[in-house]
Every structure is written in C-alpha cells, then in structure tokens.
Amino acid sequence: MILLAFLKKLKGTIAIFRQPRTLALLALTSFLLTINWGVYIWSVSVNRIVEASLGYYITPLVSVTFGVLVLRERLRRMQWIAVSIAAIGVFTLTFEYGAFPWIAFVLAVTWSSYSLLKKALQLGALEGISIETLFALLPNLVYLTLIESQHRAQFGLSLGFSVLLAFAGVATVIPLLLFNGATTRLPLTMTGLLQYITPTIMFMVGTLINHEPMPAGRAIGFGLIWIALIFLGADLVKSNRTTASAL
C-alpha cells in the first residue's frame, strides 16, 4: 500500500475494486499463483528440484497448447514438431519416474494459465500483484494460524531464519513484478526465451549442488524437452523477424 501510494497508483488500484469481472479474474490468478508457489516450495523441500525445473521447461510448450485450445490459434510446422517431441519427452520421463511427473504438470499448467489471464487483464504489474496478494492473504493467514497451533511453524524460531524467510518473500515478488511488467513491454520472442533461464538454473542446482539422481532415461527425457525448446525458440525468432519485416 505504501509503495502504491508513493508511486501514485493507489487511486487506480482502488478503482479496480469497482470492476467485478476484473476482480474475479484477479481472484483466479491469485489462486493459480498460490498453487504454483506452494507446489514449487514443497518440491524444493523434498529434494525434487529437477522435476520442478521440468515444469518450467515445458511451460512455453503448454502455453502454445493453450493457444490452440483456448485462443483457437493454428500451430506452425516447427511448433507442431516442438510439441510432438516434448510429448515424447514427457512420456519418456513418466516411464523413467515410474509415475506421471505431476509436480512438473501442475507448475506448467498453473503458470501458463496465470500468464494467459494476466495478458488478457492488461493491468499494471504493481496493481495486479497487490490485489492478488490481498486475495491470498486470508487463506494463508488461516493456514499459518493452523500450523502455529500445531507447533509446526518455522517463522520466529530464530532471528536469522526469520530474516531469511522474510527475504525469500521479497526475492519471490520482485521477479514476478518484473515479469508482469515485461509481458506487456517486451516482444513475445524475448519473453519466451527468457523463461528458459529459471529452469536451467534450477536444473543445475538440482543436479550439481543438490546431487539429485540423473539416470540415463531421465537424461534422455530432458534431452528431448531441450530439443523441443530449440525448435520452439527458433520458431519464435523466425516469427518475430517475419512480423518485423512486414511492418
């Protein structure tokens, strides 16, 4: 609220509360964001960082699929190739894991849905995330009260740990604000390619620092996903150049 007032965006944010349709969509994006963050945090805590990275790797491919199913867009040839290879990669990983990689699936679907709705809303980054956070506040307070009553809360155990937890919230919100701002300012090609940075870092942390297993079957599955992303990235670059030359 202080930041909204300082940037003179408080009045515009309050005005959004008089728009029922916008509020309903923001409630939905808040729910999707909460699920995404919750599953991601849980996956890290149980040493499944590599599977979480898979979710963010296939997010652009899920977004392409949403474009076909929701927006009735037609896939170009290289997009078809990318989606087909990615599907084979996911089936390979499912066989290797011995179960459907639900963490990756939930992360990809919730984030792609969130991005699709945010694109449709066309709200300022700060205004949108402020209202989304407000919607998420009450259920999270209920949850925190519950675990506190069961003596399972971590916040407050020590000063250093509490500071780290508080900073984790800031470190999460800042990239989200920047992403929300970028979706309405940067070309689709740039935002699409930048999305590969996060899962790459996660994959490296999971394998090199956390020493999560990477058997041959899993490596093949990830290799297929990376090949699919190369095709998708090449298609984005080609499409952007074609659009630019037409203008």
Token pair of 167 as six digits: 């900073």
Candidates 17, 6, 119; CA nearest to 67 is 119
The pLDDT of residue 158: 75
Average model confidence (pLDDT) across the chain: 82
The per-residue pLDDT for range 103-131, each reduced to its tens digit, is 999 999 998 898 888 878 877 777 888 88
Residue with tokens 């008089």: 18
The pLDDT of residue 107: 94
| Residues sharing a CB contact under 8 Å with residue 155, sequence separation 6 or more, in sequence order | 144, 161, 162, 165
The count of structural domains within the chain is 1
Token pair of 62 as six digits: 């899920």
The per-residue pLDDT for range 141-194, each reduced to its tens digit, is 888 788 877 777 666 677 777 788 778 877 877 877 777 677 667 665 566 667
Residue 213 backbone class (left: φ over 0; alpha: ψ -120 to 50; beta: rest):
beta
The per-residue pLDDT for range 185-220, each reduced to its tens digit, is 766 556 666 777 888 888 999 999 999 988 998 899
**Percent above pLDDT 70 for the chain:** 88
Range of the domain at 227: 2-246
pLDDT surpasses 90 at 75: no
Angstrom distances, CA of residue 112 to CA of 22, 104, 107, 234: 19, 12, 8, 20
Token pair of 147 as six digits: 């675990």
The crossing angle, in degrees rounded to 10, of helices 216-246 and 59-69 is: 60
DSSP for 141-175?
HHHHHHHHHTT---TTS-HHHHHHHHHHHHHHHHH
Rounded CA separation 72/143 (Å): 39
Which segment, 5-9, 61-65, 75-79, 217-221, is predicted with the most confidence on average? Answer: 217-221
The pLDDT of residue 118: 82
Rounded CA separation 102/207 (Å): 20
Residue with tokens 């639900």: 102
Average pLDDT over residues 52-65: 84
Cβ atoms within 10 Å of 182's Cβ, excluding its own: 14
